[in-house]
Amino acid sequence: MNRATLMAKLKELIRGSVVDDEEALQRFSRDQSIYEIPPLAAVRPQDEEEIARLIHFARDAQIPITPRGGGSGTAGGALGEGIVLALPRGGSLSRMHDFSEQGREAFVTAQAGVFHRTLQAALRERGYYLPADVSSAGISQIGGNVATKASGPHALRHGAIHRFVEGLVFITDRGERVDTGDPATVPVRIRDGLSALGERIARDRRVCEQLNARRFMKTASGYNMVAFTEGLPADRLIAQVLTGSVGTLGVVTAVRLRALPLELEKCALLLSFENLSEAGDAVCALLDHPVAAVEIMSRETVRILKAASGTPRAMLPDAHVLLVETEGPGATDTVAQINDLIGARRYRLLAQPSVLTADAEIAAVWELRKQALPVLNRVASGRRALAVINDVGVPPADLAAFIAEVEGLFEKHQTEAIVYGHAGNGNLHLRPLFDLRRPGLARRIQQLADDVYTLVLRYGGTIAAEHGMGRLKAPYLKREWGEALYGYMRELKSIFDPEDIFNPGVMFSNRPLTDHLAPEFSDARGHTAAQEEES
């Protein structure tokens, strides 16, 4: 079907906007990843009925559909060659309703187009918050957060967003509207398919052991298969497997979320280390205490942040920093105990630990920490902190050893790198500073990614601890989970979307991760690492 016919057909189908001018379409060919993929068309449907109509049409015409939220993903999940179906930024798919309180908790339904920050502000007004507190609050939507199994610093204590998803509404590959709160809406093929798959997984002892071993690991890699081992009723199982499915199982239109009361008492501790792997070692010791968050920032990260945005008085120059936060009654006592523990361990600290108790001071440090990614994206002098291996995780007990080894890899590749992240969960955002002026960028990206992911997997770690799956990570999925679980993931996909209409290439892919590199990152337009090798 040519572009003009497609546009005409789409305009017939929906009242929402159909993006047809090249410049506007260009915006949908990029997200926050290293990729550029021009879609055939991009649409913003107005309601669930229009989404259903679009899906029917796309399935009949065999044109893939890529759901898109805020487009803040760093793994290329919101890009596709077919129709990009963007959730509207206002109107009927961007509302919140049915707020209720029960005991200490609150519940609210947010439509997929609600921005994360809007939801948090609405909850805060009522004395609650969603602990899956992403740093991309102003640019990501709830539908996208759920689709990527998003989380933030407080995942250490509370887990990722799936822990707060009570139920959801989504549109299937056949255009059915499924509300997990209403069993009558769940298609029989999905209910029976999940039940049969669940029984097979339950009988597979090795796979159950593998899933149990990873139950508490922070990971958004692959489908949420751990949910199959939790004895959940069908409605909750469906909501859990949709969470983290990166638009490959259906289009999420609304989510019922649980929220917690705001913690009024907080205390933070800033520790300045001379050596990065000593900071990693300290993390493990800290975890014996009831901490809410443990963040790490390498010296280089701190230096760049300070240069870009100034820094609170307490944060020292020229040090690798650990930020530890405690909350609730006893928060200050816990920080005092941690302080004693750090003193006893005789780490090479570059300054006395700073204890922060004032809300404003703690908030200022968090604000600085959450600026890390946008600031790093602006590193100048021909170098770019590219999102290539930006979201890995290892068991926290191995953090120090892993950091030492990964620093060795950066040296081998002659690449300076920025290291920061949610150290308490073993989740590191590694940002190599690639020199865009040196030739062979695609090859360098591919080789560094191969080396780092191999190391991560040797430690039993994960390729996607927080930012969800996408084109960047799909080629490594089977290596992380192994043949059997990978096979079950493929079966799950075929229960929901046997014709692969939703977001092909984003969960499963045999293509090199350098496919579709944006032009500024490819030496010759569109060349992958494999093509470079040949030429």
Ligand X SMILES: Cc1cc2nc3c(=O)[nH]c(=O)nc-3n(C[C@H](O)[C@H](O)[C@H](O)COP(=O)(O)OP(=O)(O)OC[C@H]3O[C@@H](n4cnc5c(N)ncnc54)[C@H](O)[C@@H]3O)c2cc1C
Binding site for ligand X (CB under 6 A): 31-32, 66-74, 77-78, 87, 112, 134-136, 140-141, 143-145, 147-148, 150-152, 246-247, 251-252, 373-374, 466-468, 503, 506
Least distance between ligand X and beta carbon 160 (Å):
7
Measured from the CB atom, the residue of 244 and 273 that comes closer to ligand X is: 244
Measured from the CB atom, the residue of 488 and 502 that comes closer to ligand X is: 502
Determine the residue with CB nearest ligand X: 144
Least distance between ligand X and beta carbon 431 (Å):
12
Buried residues in 117-156 as b, exposed as e (16+ CB within 10 A): ebbbebbeeeebbbbbbbbbbebbbbbbbbbbbbbbbbbb
Least distance between ligand X and beta carbon 467 (Å):
4
Task: Report which of 516, 503, 507, 514 is spatially closest to residue 84, judged by C-alpha positions.
Answer: 503
**Tokens linked to 9:** 């057909």
Least distance between ligand X and beta carbon 97 (Å):
17
Measured from the CB atom, the residue of 293 and 406 that comes closer to ligand X is: 293
Measured from the CB atom, the residue of 244 and 338 that comes closer to ligand X is: 244
Measured in Å, how far apart are the chain's first and last C-alpha atoms? 34
Separation of CA 296 from chain center: 18
Task: Report which of 366, 370, 342 is spatially closest to residue 356, judged by C-alpha positions.
Answer: 366
Least distance between ligand X and beta carbon 347 (Å):
27
Least distance between ligand X and beta carbon 163 (Å):
13
Least distance between ligand X and beta carbon 275 (Å):
26
Alpha-carbon gap, residue 60 to 255, rounded angstroms: 28
Measured from the CB atom, the residue of 78 and 323 that comes closer to ligand X is: 78
Would you put residue 426 in left (φ > 0), alpha (ψ -120 to 50) or beta? left
Least distance between ligand X and beta carbon 349 (Å):
27
Measured from the CB atom, the residue of 64 and 198 that comes closer to ligand X is: 64
Q: Decide if 42 contacts 28 (C-beta within 8 A).
A: yes
What residues contact residue 411 under an 8 Å CB cut-off, 6+ apart?
none
Helices (H), 345-378: 359-370, 372-376
Measured from the CB atom, the residue of 31 and 173 that comes closer to ligand X is: 31
Phi and psi angles of residue 18, each rounded to the nearest 5 degrees, phi first: -115, 120
Phi and psi angles of residue 85, each rounded to the nearest 5 degrees, phi first: -105, 100
Distances (CA, A) of 262 to 125, 131, 143, 240: 10, 9, 23, 25
Task: Report which of 346, 302, 345 is spatially closest to residue 322, judged by C-alpha positions.
Answer: 302
What residues contact residue 129 under an 8 Å CB cut-off, 6+ apart?
120, 123, 259, 260, 262
Alpha-carbon gap, residue 3 to 165, rounded angstroms: 39
Least distance between ligand X and beta carbon 91 (Å):
14
Least distance between ligand X and beta carbon 151 (Å):
5
Q: What angle do CA 289, 292, 294 make, to 5 degrees?
A: 85
Measured from the CB atom, the residue of 157 and 289 that comes closer to ligand X is: 157
Alpha-carbon gap, residue 42 to 18, rounded angstroms: 6
Measured from the CB atom, the residue of 59 and 467 that comes closer to ligand X is: 467
What residues contact residue 243 under an 8 Å CB cut-off, 6+ apart?
146, 147, 149, 161, 162, 165, 168, 224
Measured from the CB atom, the residue of 14 and 335 that comes closer to ligand X is: 14
Measured from the CB atom, the residue of 225 and 349 that comes closer to ligand X is: 225
Alpha-carbon gap, residue 296 to 323, rounded angstroms: 6
Least distance between ligand X and beta carbon 451 (Å):
24
Least distance between ligand X and beta carbon 326 (Å):
20
Query: H or E element: which one contains 299?
Result: helix 299-309
Measured from the CB atom, the residue of 155 and 409 that comes closer to ligand X is: 155
Alpha-carbon Rg of the chain, whole angstroms?
23
